[in-house]
Structure 1
């Protein structure tokens, strides 16, 4: 009987020590890692959301132009409201590119391969510079779409779409970057 009690006490003590050690050493590390992973994935999700906002706002700005000043179908109030909407869309683009450049270290460095890290860094910097440039509006919109669509598809597109378009997306992105670095920023 004493051997049985001793075995039970040793087993209980081992369980208490193991649980205490895990609670003090292992669990805090796992919780810290979990917090970092949640932050990385939230930043990746925000990266994708900001690119979609840029694509959407660019499309709206391209498709909905201000009418001519002498167009009789448009009242001054309606023209002013449309101008306000267009300004709001530009503000969304400005806010999105500002977020992209301010948070690039969080989301870009979370991917495992060098190419997957460099593309978002290059994208964020060039997209922000396009918005800040003195180019004409139509040129800015064209460049932002040429920069954003390939990156968005490669990071957040359907897997089949990514595989099918990888070469074309990389080529289009590289050509747009080459165009941006070759031309002056003034109109």
Structure 2
């Protein structure tokens, strides 16, 4: 009987020590890791949402131009409303490119290869530069789309689309950088 009692006492003590050690050392580290991983994944989601917002706002701005002053059927109120909408779309692009550049370290550094990290950083910087430039509106929209579409496909496209378009997307991105006046990206191997 004393052997069984001693075995139960040792088992209970081992369980208490294990639970205490887990609660003091393992659980806080796992909670901190969970928070960090959650922040990184939220940044990636916002990275994707920002690119989608840029693409949609560019498409809307390209399609809905302000009508000429002598265009029949357009009242001053409608012109003002359309101008307000266009300004709101430009503001969305401004907000998205600002977020991209301000949070680049969070989302870009979360990818496993230096090539992807640099791709995200180059995209964020150049998208902001294009937005801030004094280029014509149509040129800005064209350059933003040319920058954003290949990057979005490489980071968030279907896996078969990423593989199928990887070389073309990197080449297109590098050509757009040359058009912007930046440094061309390294050659794709």
The aligned residue for residue 70 of structure 1 is 70
Residue 119 of structure 1: CA displacement?
0.6
Name stretches of at least 5 consecutive residues in structure 2 with no aligned partner: 184-189
Q: Secondary structure at the match of 1:72?
A: coil
After superposition, residues 139-178 of structure 1 pair within 5 angstroms as: 139-178=139-178
Give the equivalent residue in structure 2 for 1:60.
60
Please name the residue that 1:83 is paired with.
83
Structure 1: which 5+ residue stretches go unaligned? Answer: none
Displacement of 1:182 in angstroms is 5.5
RMSD across aligned positions (CA)? 1.1
2:100 is matched with which residue? 100
Structure 1 segments of 4 or more deviating over 4 A?
none
Whole-Å separation in 2 of the counterparts to 1:173 and 1:20: 54
Judged with a 3 Å threshold, the aligned counterparts in structure 2 of structure 1 residues 165 and 133 are, in CA distance, closer, same or farther, namely same
The 1:182–1:7 alpha-carbon spacing in structure 2 relative to 1, beyond 3 Å, is closer
CA–CA distance in structure 1, aligned partners of residues 71 and 29 of structure 2: 66
Aligned mates of 2:30, 2:81 — CA distance in 1: 52
- The CA deviation string for residues 44-96 of structure 1, in whole angstroms up to 9 with x for no partner, is 00000000000000000001111111011211111111011000000000000
- Rounded Cα–Cα distance in structure 2 between residues aligned with 1:179 and 1:5: 81
Q: Greater relative contact order (Cα 8 A, min sep 6): structure 1 or 2?
A: 1
The separation in 1 between residues aligned to 2:73 and 2:165, in whole angstroms, is 43
Paired residues in the alignment total 183
Q: TM-score, normalised by structure 2?
A: 0.95
TM-score (norm 1): 0.96
- Equivalent residue for 1:124? 124
CA apart distance, 1:16: 0.5
CA distance in 1, matches of 2:158, 2:73: 43
Partner SS state of residue 181, structure 2? helix
Partner of 2:109: 109
When residues 91 and 109 of structure 1 are mapped into structure 2, their CA distance, relative to the original with a 3 A threshold, is same
